[in-house]
Chains A and B, each alone.
Chain A
Amino acid sequence: MNRVNIPGAIAGVLTLILPFLGAWWSLTLGTDAIVVTASPFETKTIIFGNYIASPLFEWFCLGLKLGVTYLGALLIAGSILPAMNRNEDLAKVFINFASRKLLWLVLIFVVALVIFVLLLNQASSVLPVKIDIPFPYLVWTRSLSADMVNMGIVIPICAKFTYAFGVAVIAAISGAYSCIYQEKL
């Protein structure tokens, strides 16, 4: 039991369940007039009750979902194989391959979100309603109001990370640490 890579096993279990926890980040205009929910496994855009879908993107996300599930399985296998005194070299291969991938996925997701929000910020400068998204860009709540010719609009906006993102960060850090831990076994 003391030869089990515990951080790797934790990362593996969390990585396995991660694709099924839903969105990592959400942007809501109004109560649910416009909702954008995003994670590497699914991105949903609902505008006034209309679901905007891209089959290609949905299939791509399914590929990522399967890929991350595979990484979770590798992490679990790589973590418990040394305790069974079997295929220790293979366990090292599994851990080395799978340990940092989720960390990269989390980093790429955050960078992509920041780029998306900054582009949204830029695009809003040509619209009648300027959004002016505050730093740190990804977590904020504000109410926008604008008066146009014969029209006024008030839009409450909320951007936030969900608990699933927290799980992803824990899984990513545990995964990265499992590689160091594996060397000590």
Chain B
Amino acid sequence: MDEKTIRSAVPIVPAVLLIGCILAAFATHGWDMQATLFAEDPAEATKSLMEFGSGAPGGESEFFKFNDVDISGDRVTVKLDVQSPLNMPITVKELSADIPVGDGIGMVSLPAPVTIPAKGSASLNLEGTTPDAGAIPDPHAQKNPAVRNMEMVLNISGIELSIKQPRGVGGVS
């Protein structure tokens, strides 16, 4: 290769490399503009996150499900299944809720932080005491009473999120 050819080729090579790579991007994605611009639909990617946020706490949500309420003596235990749509672990640091027991309202809370694995689920056992055990004639007759006034503190990889169910609004059963 003579010097003149090299001189003229030197400034052209980077442009050829860049244009070649851009053409390769389209060629490897069937010349489809949207597939080349985005690996996956951005709307789909954010959908699960939005559903998780809007469903917690209270309301109809596939991510939060109260499974079982057990009242024995003066102890109330509520089992809550939480499913995480995120690709990273979530730590439930605090969780408390009010639960109607007999004529009174009992409060249940999470005894210790629980970590929900990435894209996984965890069962949270909320524990508390009944307001007045003597006032309940048959505690086991109370099946799945509505849980309300739920408050929780989540830690998502260093981001701390406190969520509070509006007072007196709805309930989760």
Which residues on A sit within 8 Å (CB–CB) of B87?
A: 48-50
Given A93-B7, A93-B10, check contact A55 B162 (CB 8 Å): no
Given A60-B22, A70-B13, A156-B158, check contact A48 B88 (CB 8 Å): yes
Stretch of B34-42, B74-82, B99-107, B139-147 that contacts chain A: B34-42
Interface pair A48/B158, CB less than 8 Å apart: no
Given A32-B88, A71-B14, check contact A55 B35 (CB 8 Å): yes
With beta carbons under 8 angstroms apart, the residue of B29, B37, B39, B159 that contacts A29 is B159
Interface pair B38/A150, CB less than 8 Å apart: no
Interface pair A48/B3, CB less than 8 Å apart: no
Which residues on A sit within 8 Å (CB–CB) of B3?
A: 87, 89-90
Number of interface residues of A (CB under 8 A): 38
Shortest distance in angstroms between A177's beta carbon and chain B's nearest beta carbon? 20
In the bound assembly, the distance between CA atoms of A62 and B20 in angstroms comes to: 10
**In this assembly, does A153 line the interface, its C-beta being within 8 Å of a C-beta of chain B?**
yes
**In this assembly, does A56 line the interface, its C-beta being within 8 Å of a C-beta of chain B?**
yes
Given A33-B88, A54-B37, check contact A155 B159 (CB 8 Å): yes
Shortest distance in angstroms between A178's beta carbon and chain B's nearest beta carbon? 16
**In this assembly, does A106 line the interface, its C-beta being within 8 Å of a C-beta of chain B?**
no
Spell out A's residues near B (CB within 8 Å): 29-33, 47-50, 52-56, 58-60, 62-64, 66-67, 70-71, 74, 87, 89-90, 93-94, 97, 150-156
